[in-house]
A = this chain, B = another copy of it.
Amino acid sequence: MTAPRYDERMPRSNRQRTSRRAVYATLRRKVLTLEFPPGAALSENELAASLGVSRTPVRESLILLSEEGLVQVFPQVGSFVSRVDPAKVADAQFLREAVELASLEDLPGLPAELDPELVDELRRNLEEQRRPGLGLEDFFELDEAFHQTLLRLSGHGSAWATVVSAKGHLDRARRLGLYDTATSSGFAAQHVEILDAVLAGDIPLARTAMRTHLRAVFDDVERIRARSPELFATDSGTVPVRRNIVVWE
């Protein structure tokens, strides 16, 4: 007959370090940091060669990224980094706001019931955010951790994956413009406001603060768009362009 395997807990044996995961992480990072700018052609063959792997993990990663909306694949034509589509950015904003605001509703009524470990984590995170001379990348990381931990606090940590997908589009849009530390320090203050409200058990206030915060992030994107409209795709009918075939000599 059959026999059971793996009784309970295979902590990281599941999340194995596979080539595909590495490639996916690399490609996603390069897309989000604009190292691969919107509209850029992503040849499976080229990527495979430059990453030192075969087409298979590259291809599988591109499929995942296309599901995420960060990449568009045109069969027999090419794969391209998605244009920064304001509609998609707005969708991402809507989704993120819906999830994060709803999670606040599910916080325990009494602040005493909050997981003290997570609360500590949030406090330490906010302290880090206040550290002078903090780099932009560092702030991005802390920001991510803050929002994720907040979700865990309400017991909806698993919804983070959805937020991440949405955040991808937002972050990419934000990086299009200059994004100074002054702005980020403002965000840090908003984070404090949110946590204070949560710890005070004032959920409506927390919601308001969170909404204000997320809208500020979105407005940041809109500001960038107003200043540099050419960076955004105006028509959703994208225009793939076959890359130059450059032959030297």
Please choose the segment from A89-97, A114-122, A141-149, A196-204 that sits at the chain B interface, where 4 or more of its residues have CB less than 8 A away.
Answer: A89-97
In the complex this chain forms, how many copies of it are found? 2
Q: Does A8 contact B (CB under 8 A)?
A: yes
In whole angstroms, how far apart are the Cα atoms of A3 and B78 in the complex?
A: 14
Which residues of B sit under 8 angstroms from A67, Cβ to Cβ?
A: 64, 67
Q: Does A9 contact B (CB under 8 A)?
A: yes
Query: How many residues on A have C-beta within 8 angstroms of the other chain's C-beta atoms?
Result: 46
30 contacts between A and B (CB under 8 A): A1-B244, A2-B241, A2-B242, A2-B244, A4-B239, A5-B77, A5-B239, A5-B242, A6-B240, A7-B239, A8-B239, A14-B72, A14-B74, A18-B75, A63-B63, A63-B64, A64-B64, A64-B67, A67-B67, A91-B156, A91-B159, A94-B103, A94-B106, A94-B159, A95-B159, A97-B102, A98-B98, A98-B99, A98-B103, A162-B162
Contact in complex: B106, A3 (CB < 8 Å): no
Q: Which residues of A contact B (CB under 8 A)?
A: 1-10, 14, 16, 18, 60, 63-64, 67, 72, 74-75, 77, 87-88, 91, 94-95, 97-99, 101-103, 106, 156, 158-159, 162, 235, 237-244
